[in-house]
């Protein structure tokens, strides 16, 4: 009996994790505000009407650094069609490192420092990087990516959401 209970608990956990990674249906993105490295203020509310990828990253994260050129390419490809990227540097990332990286690599999108950890907390206690959250024009979480996304699949999702 104990074995069946453990299997049932594992199954429920797996289904819950799957829903979390997919976005869980009609989950609304948290209504957070943030400032860019240049001091420009924005918020999830201001981004409503756009398809948004919120990417949690750190300069010390090799996977984050590896995926960054593809995030830049994706941003360039869709920015003119109503797509926005918000790169959220984790609270433990030294601000000078983030500024230096963003400047050296000419990141074309909104880069913000999550110095208090509030943005990561609002998006579901994000601790692992890279983690990305794809949000539709209505502010609904469509999918969560833990680790580097399959960029072909991500592009297909973005194109579908831009047409909606």
* Burial class of residue 124 in the structure, from the number of CB atoms within 10 Å of its CB (0-12 exposed, 13-18 middle, 19+ buried): middle
Q: Output 19 or 158, whichever has higher pLDDT.
A: 158
pTM: 0.84
Whether 66 has a pLDDT exceeding 60, the answer reads yes
Q: How confident is the model at residue 74 (pLDDT cuts 50, 70, 90)?
A: very high
C-alpha to C-alpha distance for 44 and 159, rounded to whole angstroms: 20
- At 126-139, the pLDDT tens digits run 999 999 999 999 99
Residue 22, pLDDT score: 43
How high is the mean pLDDT of the chain? 88
Q: 141: Cβ–Cβ under 8 A, 6 or more apart, which residues?
A: 23, 24, 27, 28, 29, 133, 134, 135
Whether 21 has a pLDDT exceeding 60, the answer reads no
Residue 25, pLDDT score: 53
Whether 18 has a pLDDT exceeding 60, the answer reads no
Give 3-state DSSP helix, strand, coil % of the chain, rounded to 5. Answer: 40, 25, 35
- What is the percentage of the chain residues whose pLDDT exceeds 70? 85
Whether 89 has a pLDDT exceeding 90, the answer reads yes
Whether 5 has a pLDDT exceeding 50, the answer reads no
* Sheet arrangement for strand 110-113: 110-113, 83-89, 51-57, 131-135, 141-146
* Mean pLDDT (whole number) for 84-106: 97
Whether 8 has a pLDDT exceeding 60, the answer reads no
Which of 7-11, 24-28, 64-68, 103-107 bottoms out in mean pLDDT, i.e. has the lowest?
7-11
* Mean pLDDT (whole number) for 60-87: 98
């Amino acid at each position: 009996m104990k074995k069946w209970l453990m299997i049932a608990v594992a199954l429920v956990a797996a289904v819950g994790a799957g829903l979390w990674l997919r976005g869980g249906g009609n989950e609304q993105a948290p209504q957070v505000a943030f400032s860019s490295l240049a001091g420009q203020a924005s918020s999830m509310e201001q981004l409503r009407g756009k398809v948004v990828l919120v990417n949690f990253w750190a300069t010390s994260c090799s996977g984050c650094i590896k995926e960054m050129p593809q995030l830049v390419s994706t941003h360039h490809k869709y920015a003119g069609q109503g797509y926005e990227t918000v790169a959220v540097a984790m609270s433990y990332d030294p601000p000078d490192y983030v500024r230096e990286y963003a400047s050296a690599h000419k990141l074309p999108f909104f880069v913000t420092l999550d110095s208090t950890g509030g943005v990561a907390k609002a998006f579901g206690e994000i601790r692992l990087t890279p983690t990305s959250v794809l949000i539709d024009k209505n502010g609904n979480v469509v999918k969560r990516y833990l680790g580097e996304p399959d960029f072909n699949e991500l592009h297909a999702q973005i194109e579908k959401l831009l047409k909606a």
